[in-house]
Amino acid sequence: MLQRLHPWNTRFRSWLWWVVIVGILAALPVVYDRVQTENTSKKVETVFDYRHLLDVAALQPNPEAFVQEWLGKLKEAGVESMAMYESTLSEFKSSRRILLYNANDVSLLTGQPVSLNENYTYLLFTNKANETALSPIIRNTFTSLGYTVNYWTHNGMDGLKIETSPDDALMKPMPQDPITMQMLHDRGFQIVPRLTDALPYNQQATEETLAKFHDLGVKRIIFEGESVKGYNDNAETGSLTDFANRLTKYDIGIATIENLKKPQKGIEKLSYLIDYNVVRLYSLSEKDSSLSPATISDRFALATKDRNIRMLYLNTQANKDVTKAQLTNTLPNLVNSLQKPGNALKAIEDNGFTLGQAEPFQVHHSSLQHYLKLVVVLGAVAFIALLISYFIPVLISPAFIIGLIGAAGLYKLKPALLEQGLALGVAISAPTIAMILVIRKTQQLRESHGDLSGSKRIMSTLIQYVKTAIISFMAVPFMIALLNNITYSLVLNQFRGVSLLHLAPIGLIALYVFLYCGESVMKELRRWLSMPITVIMVVGVAIAGAAGYYYLTRTGNEGQVSSIEMVFRSTLENVIGVRPRFKEFMLAHPLFLVGMFVGLRYAWGRFLFIIAVMGQLSMVDTFAHIHSPIIISSIRGLLGLGLGLVIGLIAILVWQIVERCWKKWSPLLVE
């Protein structure tokens, strides 16, 4: 029965390959749309945390002069924007706009006994300008929350009495300090407000706040805390939609912060409601602000070039230098990072960007893209069915038909799950199929041509190296087309299954090498199961497990990298311009070449392909990072292949020398 099905399966497999090719052709216009989208946002904005500047200034003998001095230095260094948090009474006190008292303080000031039933908050404005600007803000904030606010005065100074405890009052956020915002605007800085969702959503207050932002030229806001403004009240009042409409009215976008432990709640919905007027932000932490200027510069250049970052957020901190018995801060280090010796801004401009207010991507979406994606889905299902056929040939037709039915169902119910599932399936299938074909070819050449000469082995190895890379890269157009959505580029949505992508091809190739390279799967299975377990096997399994664990710790955004490799990566980035994947050109690709070369003479050479498949899946995985530009990912893969070829040829040369020496001297050792 199976023999009668074999010709049909072979013909059907050929048809499926043609379906895959048609799917690739249909994906190319979608790929072009994404390239056009990626070229629409080329401005990079540098933002400094103004609150941190105040914190450092508070430790200086002349705080105001310190602030003004460093505002000038930061402006000269290329900082264009200042981030301003919502104000608090504590911040107004730190900036010396108010004097803050509790009931005990007032008792001492007035000489009156402390009331046992009163624990209120008292404040005095330090001058008339501060009272004019801040009194309405403070009064409106607390009265809207249900607190009683009364006029209070002492020694000719005007102030307010808020009928709540100081501890409670200090927690309440208020709009940004208008005096500071105007000062920064007059100094030539763009304002980037930071908003919270701590208080109940108030339409009128939000309208007034955004109108003021618009008058000051605000183009983008950043959220502070675990949710965006309007999220907590959205279920009851539709506040998220109202906030989005007001943002759109004033042409104000938002920024998403890279590498948060959890995405801010409501960020995805709000981004959709404002038509993705969103940019990605990289925040240099207080701790990292003390890194060397060269390191900070590399981080900024990589973030903008490789990860679609368009806002660079700088934090600073004060430090106690015990050895010098003095207070220090990282402000000079940040300036040196942006200009000489770090030259971060110059490096960013050299990469084709300009400095200015960050702009969102303008999405290019051709009218035919919807129909082209349907063809891409068809090709992706065919690709996955092909993978199944190399392990269970008889399932090739059922796999394709069931795949089409499942795809149709998911297209109606959960299209996002369909796109991600097919993208993952194709990403696994392409490198696995490519490696299976090279294993078969190696076995065929070894068995049919016997002992090939060294030159023929090298030529065959090079041909298969190119062919295998081409088949692996066939997954790329599918992945780009299936995941061509601005939400992936902005990392509002992420490609799932990265760990599976890194493990599945290795496991499948190991299965193929151990069971599919003999007379039959059952005979090979019985042979391996009947083999006695030795200490060497146990040690080998332990080593393989440790290596697998280490391999997994290096995958994804949380991957761990040694300091030596970080230096090596930085060197490659500076010399070549784009850093290829270390494991590709230093390990996997050279092992592929050696495995093929050795496998043409010795059957055990096929075991090297189990590790070599890492290079193929890594090339595909590079394109799973949708926030990386296509051109960067392509250059990275090709560079890895080129460097891997050089290192692999050197390894083959070393192998040939060792092999010839062994043939020459091994008979002498026996004697």
User: Distance (Å, rounded) from C-alpha 510 to C-alpha 610?
Assistant: 5
pLDDT at 468 over 50: yes
User: Distance (Å, rounded) from C-alpha 483 to C-alpha 481?
Assistant: 6
Angle at 479 between CA 474 and CA 484, to 5 degrees: 140
For the stretch 526-542, pLDDT in tens is 776 777 777 665 666 66
Question: Parallel, antiparallel, or unpaired: how do β-strands 98-101 and 149-154 relate?
Answer: unpaired
**Torsion angle (degrees, nearest 10) of CA 98, 103, 108, 114:** 160
CB–CB of 417/410 below 8 Å? yes
For the stretch 135-169, pLDDT in tens is 999 999 999 999 999 999 999 899 999 999 999 99
In Å, how far from its chain's centre is CA 270? Answer: 20
Check residue 582 and give its pLDDT. Answer: 85
CB–CB of 51/85 below 8 Å? yes
Check residue 261 and give its pLDDT. Answer: 87
Tokens of 513: 């090498």
Check residue 1 and give its pLDDT. Answer: 45
Check residue 564 and give its pLDDT. Answer: 60
pLDDT at 3 over 80: no
| Three-class SS state of 312 | strand
pLDDT at 671 over 60: no
* Residue with tokens 């009042």, as numbered in its chain: 237
Region 45-58 average pLDDT? 93
Burial track 64-98 (b if 16+ CB lie within 10 A, e otherwise):
eebbeebbeebeebbbbbbbbbbbbbebbebbebb
Region 497-523 average pLDDT? 87
Report the CATH fold assignment for 43-85+180-320.
TIM Barrel (3.20.20)
Could you tell me which residues come within 8 angstroms of residue 616 by beta carbon, excluding any fewer than 6 positions away? 430, 431, 434, 435, 468, 469, 472, 505, 588, 592
pLDDT band per the 50, 70, 90 thresholds, residue 342: confident
Tokens of 664: 């020459």
Burial track 605-626 (b if 16+ CB lie within 10 A, e otherwise):
bbbbbbbbbbbbbbbbbbbbbb
Bond from prior residue into 398 cis (ω within 30 degrees of 0): no
pLDDT band per the 50, 70, 90 thresholds, residue 170: very high
Each domain of the chain, given as residue ranges in start order, spans 2-39+364-670, 43-85+180-320, 87-174
Q: Tell me the CA distances in angstroms from 232 to 87, 265, 665, one per residue in order.
A: 20, 9, 78
User: Distance (Å, rounded) from C-alpha 221 to C-alpha 224?
Assistant: 10
Residue 123 has φ and ψ, to the nearest 5°, of -145, 150
The residue ranking higher by pLDDT, 670 or 304, is 304
Question: Parallel, antiparallel, or unpaired: how do β-strands 149-154 and 157-162 relate?
Answer: antiparallel
Check residue 557 and give its pLDDT. Answer: 45
The pTM of the whole model exceeds 0.75: yes
* Residue with tokens 């042409």, as numbered in its chain: 251
The one-letter code for the residue type at 570 is S
Can you spell out the DSSP letters for 352-372?
T-EESS---------TTHHHH
For the stretch 25-35, pLDDT in tens is 999 999 999 99
User: Distance (Å, rounded) from C-alpha 228 to C-alpha 254?
Assistant: 10
What is the residue-averaged pLDDT of the chain? 89
Could you tell me which residues come within 8 angstroms of residue 136 by beta carbon, excluding any fewer than 6 positions away? none
DSSP run (H or E) holding 624:
none
pLDDT at 2 over 50: no
pLDDT at 265 over 80: yes
For the stretch 606-634, pLDDT in tens is 999 999 999 999 999 999 988 899 999 99
User: Distance (Å, rounded) from C-alpha 48 to C-alpha 80?
Assistant: 8
Partners of residue 191 on adjacent β-strands: 82
Could you tell me which residues come within 8 angstroms of residue 123 by beta carbon, excluding any fewer than 6 positions away? 89, 92, 98, 99, 100, 101, 138, 152, 159, 160, 162
User: Distance (Å, rounded) from C-alpha 234 to C-alpha 319?
Assistant: 42
Check residue 130 and give its pLDDT. Answer: 94
User: Distance (Å, rounded) from C-alpha 24 to C-alpha 13?
Assistant: 17
The one-letter code for the residue type at 483 is L
For the stretch 184-242, pLDDT in tens is 999 999 999 999 999 899 999 999 999 999 999 999 999 999 999 999 999 999 999 99
pLDDT at 558 over 70: no
Please state which of the ranges 55-64, 259-268, 414-423, 564-573 shows the lowest mean pLDDT: 564-573
User: Distance (Å, rounded) from C-alpha 457 to C-alpha 346?
Assistant: 48
Check residue 549 and give its pLDDT. Answer: 58
